[in-house]
Amino acid sequence: MNLPRALDETHGRSVTIDMQDLGSGETFLGKPREPTEMRYSCQRSSLSLSLHVALVAIQVFLLVVWHQEWEHGIIFSVDKELRVARLVKGILTTFITLYSALLVFITQSLALRRDLHRRQLLTATHDNAVAWSGLGSAVARLWDQRAIPASSIGVLTALTYLASISALHTAFPGVAAPQSLFINQSVPISTQSLPTFNLSGVNETNSQDFLFAAEQYAARSLSFLPFSTPSNTLGLHEATLYDVLEPNPGTGSARVNATSFSISCGYIPDTAFNATTQIINAGGTYSWLGLTDLDVITTVAAAPFPDPARNSNLSDNFYYLGFPHPAVFYTSIPVLDSNNNTAPWIKLSDVDSNAAAKAVQVSRCSLRLIEQTVLVDSQSHNLTSFASEMPQTSTWVPFSGQPANVSTVYLHDVENQLAKIVASMFWMLGHRAPVSAYTDTSSAESFNVSLLAGQAIVTRLVIQDRLDLNVISIVECLVASLVLLGLSFRFSRLGRREPHATKLDGLDMLQTIWLFRDNPGVAASLEQVQVPTDVNLRRAGMVQVQLIDMDVCMTELTEELGEISMDKDKLSELTHRLEKPLGEEV
């Protein structure tokens, strides 16, 4: 059952109310009821602005990541380069394609609604709508403005927006890509360290024989020292022994362990010399002086027999350099300290007129080891960086045993040379065998020298890939995103209320037919075009029109009818109202 048709004299339209529509959720006047939240275009405008702002934020975030080089933490092997490159490009391309398509759809619909509500030239509406169909159409419409200028700004806006989308779509897939580079990789390498004895067969019975054999071995190994050069004494530098790297693929420098020998000497007060026995009493230590020539610095030999006054064993008078006792030295030449002072002299002429040297200085020296690290070249194994611990100044002071802090006891010239000799002895002991066999002892079979094994870390160059951001592409995308954001404000209609008829998302054939039937006055205002060329049609469309009527009264009436819960009484009243001409309404 259809209610009488009501004529809208203002618009020349008629509507029909169907009884079957009652309570069906549809409004009268043949228009479907839509949710209340869809009556405001601000929702789509808000979505448009949010998407554009998010796009700018993405580019800013990528710029920060590039500046901080956070993406360089993503490292992968070279054999995965092609796979990662395809994956990264595919993800970026898919993302920007979908994102830009959504932006164009929303912005195009907002631009169309804006043109439909504005009273402007029909040709301008046509040019704007066609310009949004693609870059080529936008360029063609912009060219048409030369002959018939209808909407230069609108077409230029569409062209700029689509061009920015195209630039974004082109640049964004190149934002990130794999980059091959050489990186340093740490590799543990074995080293040869200090020499060591095999003490498995040494006991109290043969310990003295073992020490004697070791002493002979070391002394005869020193025969190579005068012929040594830095190239064939790897592991030895002045008074320092450093670990020698095994062959390795490393580059640059590596840090290895090193041991420096430091010797400190002091004079012995209350020293007495017996010319008959040539025994020197150096602070309670009895040793044979055994003077030979003038101008020498040498060690004193241990007494060949126990001193009767001490009634001690022979072994009590043996002193080996630093193991563990200090060594006693004498010199017949003056040894000056940093203050140009000499140690006390023992006048031999007073007790032995036949002595070649008339006076000697007797001193006692102690040894300490300094553990440190040094830098060596990974390939040549030569020392590249070394902080010398050798003193540059020293003064004569009384020897007071093995001091807790020997930094105050210096005779740097003598001490440094002694330290070098000791270091050389240790190096030769581990790297050069004696020229002739040492004396056989009971421990000879178990006596051998080996090098301690150590470990160092070297760096080698390996080719790997890492993710790298292209700052040029990021800047291009950022500029394009800012342009898109600025243009989106032009089509924003936040807070503007629109009638339901404006829910148009395009101007295809169906939408065009609907608009033509909804606006019969447009046809009457257009001139008849005999030849429908583009130029003739654009010229005929140079009339002011408003395709969507914004009649507030009609809109309010439509909403009122759509929201009333109908019953029979109200239906009759409404039918009575619609049967009267609109002009008779009070």
8 A C-beta contact, residue 446 and residue 202: yes
What are the residues facing 192 on neighbouring strands? Answer: 244, 453
pTM over cut 0.75:
no
Reported as a single tens digit per residue, the pLDDT across 291-329 is 555 555 666 554 443 344 433 333 333 333 333 456 777
- Cα separations in angstroms, 131 against 12, 123, 483, 510, 520: 32, 12, 18, 19, 26
The identity of residue 406, as a single letter, is: V
Identify the segments of the chain with pLDDT beneath 70: 1-42, 198-204, 206-207, 218-219, 222-231, 275-278, 282-326, 349-357, 386-413, 433-448, 493-513, 515-516, 518-526, 528-530, 533, 536, 540-586
Q: What is the DSSP letter of 440?
A: P
Reported as a single tens digit per residue, the pLDDT across 493-503 is 654 555 444 56
Residues in the chain: 586
8 A C-beta contact, residue 55 and residue 484: yes
- The reported pLDDT for the residue numbered 89 is 92
- Cα separations in angstroms, 371 against 241, 343, 365, 388, 416: 10, 31, 20, 12, 17
8 A C-beta contact, residue 462 and residue 185: yes
Burial class (CB in 10 A: 0-12, 13-18, 19+), 85: middle
Q: Which value, in Å, is the radius of gyration of the alpha carbons in the chain?
A: 52
Name the percent of the chain in helix, strand, coil, to the closest 5. Answer: 40, 20, 35
Q: Give the side-chain half-sphere CA count within 13 A for 546.
A: 7
Q: Which tokens belong to 160?
A: 């700029």
The identity of residue 137, as a single letter, is: S
Give the span between the Cα atoms of 412 and 418, in whole angstroms: 10
DSSP code string of 507-529:
--HHHHHHHHHH-HHHHHHSPP-
Q: Which helix (H) or strand (E) holds 442?
A: none
Q: Which helix (H) or strand (E) holds 319?
A: none
Pairing of strands 383-385, 301-302: unpaired
The identity of residue 201, as a single letter, is: G
Q: Give the side-chain half-sphere CA count within 13 A for 98.
A: 5
What are the residues facing 418 on neighbouring strands? Answer: none
Where does 470-575 show beta strands of DSSP type E?
Answer: 544-545
Q: What is the DSSP letter of 325?
A: S
Give the span between the Cα atoms of 362 and 347, in whole angstroms: 11
* 3-state SS assignment for residue 453: strand
Q: Which helix (H) or strand (E) holds 360?
A: strand 359-377
8 A C-beta contact, residue 443 and residue 204: no
- The reported pLDDT for the residue numbered 473 is 93
- The reported pLDDT for the residue numbered 88 is 93
Q: What is the DSSP letter of 231?
A: T
Q: What is the DSSP letter of 1?
A: -
- The reported pLDDT for the residue numbered 391 is 62
8 A C-beta contact, residue 335 and residue 342: yes
Give the span between the Cα atoms of 412 and 394, in whole angstroms: 5
Crossing angle of helices 81-117 and 152-171, rounded to 10°: 170
* 3-state SS assignment for residue 368: strand
Pairing of strands 251-267, 240-242: antiparallel
Where does 146-303 show beta strands of DSSP type E?
Answer: 176-197, 236-237, 240-242, 244-245, 251-267, 271-274, 279-282, 285-288, 297-299, 301-302
Q: Which helix (H) or strand (E) holds 417?
A: helix 412-431
Give the span between the Cα atoms of 150 and 118, in whole angstroms: 14
Place of tokens 């006596």: 447
8 A C-beta contact, residue 202 and residue 210: yes
Give the span between the Cα atoms of 401 and 24, in whole angstroms: 113
Give the span between the Cα atoms of 411 and 541, in whole angstroms: 110
DSSP code string of 92-159:
HHHHHHHHHHHHHHHHHHHHHHHHHHS-EEHHHHHHHHHHTT-HHHHHHHHHHTTTS-S-HHHHHHHH
- The reported pLDDT for the residue numbered 476 is 94
Give the span between the Cα atoms of 440 and 210, in whole angstroms: 10
